[in-house]
Amino acid sequence: MRVRRPRVIRFLQEAERFQWRSAEEVRRLQWLLLKTVLSSACENVPFYRDWFKSQGMNIRDIVTPADFRRLPILTKEILRSQSVGLRSEISRGKVIENYTGGSTGEPTTFYQDDVYVDWGEALTIRHNRWAGWEFGERTVYLWGADRDLNKTRNSVGRWYSQHFKREVLLNSFDLDGTRLGSFYNEIIHFNPRIIIGYASALTFFARYVHDGGRPWPVKLRGIISAAETLDEYQRTLIESVFQCTVFNRYGSRDMGLMASQCQVGSGLHICADNVYLEVLRPGGEPALPGELGEVVVTGLNNFAMPLIRFAIGDVAAVDEDRTCACGRGLPLLQFVKGRVSDLLVTPAGKFVHGEYFTHLFYGKRWVDRFQVIQDVRDAIGVRIMASAKPDPREIESLRREIVDHLGPEMHVTIEFVDQIPVTPTGKYRFTLSHLPPAAFKGT
């Protein structure tokens, strides 16, 4: 990674100091950052200016977190329909158009200023350093987003990336044996210090190395798993194959880096210098430590289009009662379970996370990929890409085991398919719910 903007270095120095402040000081400074972005939105963003006026409120009325929760939750539907009113009338610098990948079929456009972009790069470097990387060292990306890979599509772009930025970007959009073999050879030749990739791409690559009995001479300092939920099976496999620690990273295109794992590995540190993160029960109250809830995030560094109390569609659990043994004062998430649409809902109203199915398929080497889809509350479909078709009795046993776990009212169908598509950004979603949001409320 080659940093081209001096401002990034300054922000990195601030971020490095911030992480070692006490938990109390982190909370105090985070609240000041929150009030600053909220004040700017109240004065310069029509959507929030109108809201405060309609409620007879002003920024001085926001004194406590409970006061802050009076503000409306910003949904992606509101963001799409009110995009003009959500843009600030002033700018700190260059405004950049960005957009989500549209993994749910509904891409969303938003705007960020270049100060936000530089803060994002600084925070990314901070976490890369947690994983053992230092400036000038080589990095490999197993990535799938076209917008990030376009710059290396030609020979000049690849040469610049490898020799100046000292990084290789490998397109994990469609992984097969030929492509994995090419990745293996290129990574061995490039000899990076860290690898950053989608959890699924890292898992497929680890299985390719392990199952083929291939040697792994690269001495990695760490692997960063990003953009998808990482489960314990994936972590164990990746760490055992590549003989290094996996550092989980939680972020999004619209909010940037939100939380990341340190070397201690117990939970993820919330980037309190970039986001104010809430985990809420269906009724809007804060979830208890360890309790699964919906993630609602306020960005603290983007003034071009401040996203305040933005429901990004993920579920997680906080760990506020504990400080990390690493000594950082940043608050902790206990775990991130992925998107709301990664959850299934049984007819009896029970939440079932897709991770149940990863455990279900452990040891079944004939399963290359699977995907579980729910369109209605009392039925799911399981798609399987298989290297060999198992005995029908094993399929029936699998179906009965799912019914036993999800309840007798759940209808389960299993089909074998040739392909399971990834999202437009190259992510592989092994559970996909098409239920309306109301299905997840009050269950």
> Residues 103-124: pLDDT tens digits?
444 567 899 999 999 999 999 9
Pair 194, 220: CB distance under 8 Å: yes
Distance (Å, rounded) from C-alpha 45 to C-alpha 52? 11
In this prediction the pTM is 0.78
> What are 383's strand-pairing partners?
371, 415
How long is the chain?
443
Q: What's the CA gap between 3 and 164, in Å, rounded? A: 10
Compute how many other C-beta atoms are within 10 angstroms of the C-beta atom of residue 320: 16
> Which ranges of the chain have pLDDT less than 50?
1-2, 102-105, 146-147, 152, 156-157, 159-160, 442-443
pLDDT computed for residue 153 by the predictor = 52
Domains and CATH numbers, the chain: 6-121+250-341 (3.40.50.12780), 132-244 (3.40.50), 346-440 (3.30.300.30)
Residue type, 350: K
Write the CA distances from 417 to 358, 386, 423, integer angstroms.
Answer: 18, 8, 17
Let me know if 221 is exposed, middle or buried by CB neighbors in 10 A (0-12, 13-18, 19+): middle
CA 367 to chain centre: 25
Query: What is the full DSSP assignment across 371-391?
Result: EEEEEETTEEEEEEEESS---
Beta strands in 222-309 (DSSP E): 222-226, 246-252, 256-260, 268-270, 275-280, 293-299
DSSP code of residue 153: S
* 3-class DSSP state of 129: helix
Digit-coded pLDDT (tens) for 204-254: 899 999 999 999 999 999 999 998 888 888 999 999 999 999 999 999 888
For every residue of 420-435, DSSP letters joined together read: -PPPTTS---SEEE--
364 CB-near residues (< 8 Å, 6+ apart): 390
Does residue 177 sit in helix, strand or coil?
Answer: helix
Cα(136)–Cα(152) distance, integer angstroms: 19
Rounded to a whole number of angstroms, the distance between the first and last alpha carbons of the chain is 46
